[in-house]
Amino acid sequence: MEQIIVNGVVLSATYALVALGITLIFSIMNLLNFAHGQILMIGGFMVYYVYGVFGLPYAVALPVAAVVTGLIGFGFEVLLFRRVVRVATREENSMLLAVGTALLLENLALFGFGEKQRGVPSIVGGVYRVGAAFLPAGRLLVVLIALALIVALLLFVQYTRPGRAMRALAQDREVTYLMGVDVERISALGFALGAGLAGIAGGLLVTLSGVNAGIGTALSTKAFIMIMIGGAGVVAGAILGAVVLGFAEAVGYALIPGSTTYLLIFVGLILFLVLRPQGIMGKPQR
Amino acid sequence: MANGLHATRRGVLAGAGAAALLAASRPARAESVLKIGVLGVMSGPAASWGLVNKYCAQATAAMWNEKGGVTIDGTAYRIEIVPIDDKNDPKLAVSGAERLTEQDGIRYIIGPNVDTTAASVRPVAEKNGAIYFPYAFSKALYTPPAGNAVLGMIASYQAGPIIYRFLRDSRGVKSVAFVARNESDPLNQRKEGVEAAKKLGLNVVSSDDTYEGGTTDFFPVMSKVVSGKPDLIVLSGVAPADAPLLVKSARELGFKGQLSTETAQDAKVLREGAGNAADGFISVGGASTPEIASDYMNRFRDRYARVAGEWNDEAGTKVYALEIILATLQKAGRGAIGDVAAFKRTIDTFSMRNPFLREDKPLAYVGTAYFGQKRQIGVPMVVNEFHDGAFRTLFIGSVE
């Protein structure tokens, strides 16, 4: 039982970081970023090269991953999504663009980084015992870093001027514009921040699970599940969705025959969405 | 202007002379072209399977082309590789096979990589008279009435029993647990592995633990597997990307027993992903370990690294396909290039020296014991153990 709880906490913390980035972008742009998993993958590769190959400290590699992926997100918003969101009359256009950017990043990564799985040495060694459960020090550190970043993000969104502008944008784009907020600048900042969070998540995950050019789609799918559970565009909902999915996996793998765990998760998700399509914390659409 | 023109003329003359000298010093250039298709998954999470096939074929073709191509009945053919990514999608595998066989007129295809795509290609290959070399283990592909598929490597149901017997007899393994990715190929391999383990008298502690594709944290699934306290954990059909993570998770959960798989792995991937936790991990390899590789294999390694950017130990099991296709065509004669019936007739009697092994061993088509006909490349069953960042060959077996 202790091991299930430990596994659930580790999964929830890392998943929360993945979900926060995608929900941030969704709330500001009303855009489901299909390339989120691929941006996360790029972050993983940045840490692989900076920390694993060039031997620089992990404390340098993680910010590099955040900055590089943040710039990718910024570039996507300014060069691609801004115009499409403004000009397109249907939401599908921006969704298709997002799918396109996902395929672009995946193929560029395959070309540039190769087909192999990459991994880095653990940041710290050793394994703790929590009751009967095993908790490797590297996993504990990743959880602590993820929790610190989640708290930092919540504080940023809650108390800083750009953070408040992002929340306003998420609530009503037109009113925010009329209030004198530079909507385009805040959108670009939000996209960069969401992408940067994905990059950090990738940089943390690479120490636990490595990275390869093809991991993006599966991670994006998990991110979508989390924000559907919690409520798309709601920061607290993303965290809640991550906790639900993390513990569902941990409990499922321990107590339910293996191949039915995700089957049950998807069946549960479908039933849940039928009853509450806006997610746990989302507001129903009028 | 005049000076410039004069210089240009001189340059052209000098260039022509140099080209003539260079041409005279090289082997005769092949004018005819022999196209070989490579059909497999080359993008997404399983990209390495198909890409390794592609890089192997391209490296082999480059080595042959540097020597002037492959000579069949006195005619030199330059080898051209035509790769198609099927994305592990049966529909794309069918359209890819149709393009290769109908549009490009190709009769020899390396791939696909999994049971579903290989099965989907079968009608196209049989209708258009092509032979394909899948890396999928379904026996139906190779057993009559099927006749156009040739298994390109050792199947899990061939390697598994031999590895388990070795571990039972020499390492004292008495109980085993299986874990597999929740996809058809690994699940089939697990089923075969469980049956083999039971036949050997091993106690199967657990065999229903699976994980989804794209799993990033293997602690939950391995927690359950390790809790059964088996002597051996078999990672059925495990992809190279997942193997180090599963191994590392098992070790971090305190597992001290043996870990093995019947699929090929890459030492660098294991070293980076699991480090010393992968010490003792047993997998099936090719001819790439230094103690058994021939000079030709070492040259292939270098060429592969130039094509792909770096060496991949998975290629050790996939190096054989194009080499044996070319050698069989040489023996079957020119007619076999466009008519696979001649190729099929040659399969039964074909044998050559294995060019990738230092030791003098034959390379032939095998599989009669499993498929009732020779529809498998006789790749040596090289069983490796990972130690201190590299593979060490434990023993070499063979399939009849």
Q: Which amino acid is at B67?
A: K
For residue B348, being part of any structural domain is answered with yes
Map tokens 């191509």 to a residue: B69
pLDDT reading at B313 higher than 90: no
A90 φψ region: left (φ > 0), alpha (ψ -120 to 50), beta (else):
beta
**So where are chain A's domains?**
2-214
- CB-nearest partner of B214 from A52, A210, A215: A215
**Mean pLDDT taken over chain B:** 89
**Bridge partners of B33?**
B78
Q: Which helix (H) or strand (E) holds B165?
A: helix B156-171
Helices B115-128 & B90-98 angle (0-180, nearest 10): 30
Same structural domain, B302 and B313: yes
pLDDT reading at A122 higher than 50: yes
What are the DSSP E strand ranges found in B86-198? 108-110, 131-133, 175-181
pLDDT reading at A21 higher than 90: no
Map tokens 């049989």 to a residue: B126
Per-residue pLDDT at A26: 85
Q: Are A214 and B209 within 8 A, CB to CB?
A: no
As a whole number of angstroms, the distance between CA A163 and CA A124 comes to: 34
Same structural domain, B38 and B133: yes
**What is the distance in angstroms between the Cα of A158 and the nearest Cα belonging to chain B?**
31
Per-residue pLDDT at B333: 94
CA A91 to chain centre: 22
pLDDT reading at B21 higher than 60: no
**CB within 8 Å of A198: residues ≥ 6 apart:** A18, A21, A22, A36, A37, A39, A40, A43, A69, A73
From the list B183, B184, B185, B189, the residue with the least C-alpha distance to B207 is B189
**CB within 8 Å of B14: residues ≥ 6 apart:** none
Q: Which amino acid is at B158?
A: Q
Per-residue pLDDT at B70: 95
Q: Can you read off the two tokens belonging to residue B30?
A: 């092949």
**Cα dihedral angle (B137, B140, B143, B144), rounded to 10 degrees?**
-160
Same structural domain, B43 and B116: yes
For residue B388, being part of any structural domain is answered with no
Which chain A residues in 156-195 lie under 8 Å from chain B, judged by CB atoms?
A: none
- A115 chain-B contacts, CB cut-off 8 A: 47-48, 51-52, 312
As a whole number of angstroms, the distance between CA B268 and CA B274 comes to: 10
Same structural domain, B80 and B168: no
Average pLDDT over residues B268-283: 91
Most confident of the following: A142-146, B80-84, B265-269: B80-84
How do residues B131-150 score in pLDDT, each as one tens digit? 999 999 999 999 999 999 99
For residue B393, being part of any structural domain is answered with no
Per-residue pLDDT at B5: 40
**Bridge partners of A133?**
A130
Give the confidence band of B304 by pLDDT, cuts at 50, 70, 90.
very high
Give the confidence band of A55 by pLDDT, cuts at 50, 70, 90.
very high
Per-residue pLDDT at B9: 45
Q: Are A14 and B217 within 8 A, CB to CB?
A: yes
Average pLDDT over residues A253-278: 83
pLDDT reading at A196 higher than 50: yes
**Bridge partners of B175?**
B203
Average pLDDT over residues A227-244: 86
Same structural domain, B60 and B87: yes
**Bridge partners of B366?**
B376
Same structural domain, B146 and B60: yes
Split into its structural domains, chain B has a count of 2
Average pLDDT over residues A34-46: 94
Per-residue pLDDT at B7: 42
Under DSSP, the state recorded for B148 is S
- CB-nearest partner of A117 from B210, B220, B273: B273
Which of A52-61, A208-217, B66-75 shows the lowest mean pLDDT across its residues? Answer: A208-217
Which of A76-85, B105-114, B371-380 shows the lowest mean pLDDT across its residues? Answer: A76-85
Radius of gyration for chain B, computed over Cα atoms and rounded to the nearest angstrom: 23
Share of chain A above pLDDT 90, in %: 30
Average pLDDT over residues A172-193: 88
Map tokens 């995608």 to a residue: A22
Most confident of the following: A86-95, B29-38, B105-114: B105-114
**CB within 8 Å of B295: residues ≥ 6 apart:** B358
DSSP letters of B340-381?
HHHHHHHHTT-EEE-TTBSS--EEEEE-HHHHSS--EE---E
Would you call B398 exposed, middle or buried from its count of C-beta atoms within 10 A (0-12, 13-18, 19+)? middle
Task: Select the more confidently predicted residue: A118 or B285.
Answer: A118
Cα atoms in the 13 Å half-sphere on the side-chain side of B77: 20
Average pLDDT over residues B83-97: 95
Are the C-beta atoms of residues A50 and A60 closer than 8 Å to each other? yes
Q: Can you read off the two tokens belonging to residue A95?
A: 């969704």
Q: Are strands B70-72 and B32-40 parallel, antiparallel or unpaired?
A: unpaired
Among chain B residues, the shortest Cα distance to A48 is held by B272
**Mean pLDDT taken over chain A:** 88
Expressed in angstroms, the distance from the first to the final Cα of chain A is 43
A229, B45, B88, B126 from B119: Cα distances, Å: 38, 21, 12, 11
- CB-nearest partner of A117 from B43, B212, B269: B269
Give the confidence band of B8 by pLDDT, cuts at 50, 70, 90.
very low
Give the range of the structural domain holding residue B106, as residue numbers without chain letter: 32-153+293-379
Per-residue pLDDT at A285: 60
Give the confidence band of B10 by pLDDT, cuts at 50, 70, 90.
very low
Among chain A residues, the shortest Cα distance to B247 is held by A209
Per-residue pLDDT at B53: 96
A5 part of contact set with chain B, CB < 8 Å: no
Query: What b/e sequence results for A123-139 when a residue is b if at least 16 CB atoms lie within 10 Å of its CB, and e otherwise?
Result: beeeeeeeeebbbbebb
A205 part of contact set with chain B, CB < 8 Å: yes
Among chain A residues, the shortest Cα distance to B218 is held by A209
Average pLDDT over residues A228-238: 84
Per-residue pLDDT at A28: 81
Q: Can you read off the two tokens belonging to residue B233?
A: 């954990």
Cα atoms in the 13 Å half-sphere on the side-chain side of A192: 16
**CB within 8 Å of B92: residues ≥ 6 apart:** B85, B86
CATH of the domain at B162: 3.40.50.2300
Q: Are A10 and B219 within 8 A, CB to CB?
A: yes
pLDDT reading at A95 higher than 90: no
**What is the distance in angstroms between the Cα of B53 and the nearest Cα belonging to chain A?**
12
Query: What b/e sequence results for B138-176 when a residue is b if at least 16 CB atoms lie within 10 Å of its CB, and e otherwise?
Result: bbebbbeebbbbbbbbbbbbbbbbbbbbbbbeeeebebb
For residue B180, being part of any structural domain is answered with yes
**CB within 8 Å of B230: residues ≥ 6 apart:** B175, B176, B177, B205, B206, B257
Residue B18 CB coordination number (10 Å): 10
As a whole number of angstroms, the distance between CA B260 and CA A208 comes to: 21
Per-residue pLDDT at B30: 54
Which of A69-78, A128-137, B197-206 shows the lowest mean pLDDT across its residues? Answer: A128-137
Q: Can you read off the two tokens belonging to residue B364?
A: 């032939």
A–B: how many Cβ contacts below 8 A?
Answer: 125
Q: Best mutation site among B212, B245, B314 for testing chain A: the one with the most A CBs within 10 Å?
A: B212
Q: Can you read off the two tokens belonging to residue A220?
A: 């994006």
Coil, helix or strand at residue B30:
coil
Average pLDDT over residues B105-122: 95
- Diameter of chain A measured on Cα atoms: 58
As a whole number of angstroms, the distance between CA B74 and CA B57 comes to: 23
pLDDT reading at B12 higher than 70: no
As a whole number of angstroms, the distance between CA B170 and CA B207 comes to: 23
Give the confidence band of A284 by pLDDT, cuts at 50, 70, 90.
low
For residue B394, being part of any structural domain is answered with no
Cis check for the bond before A136: say yes or no (omega within 30 of 0). no
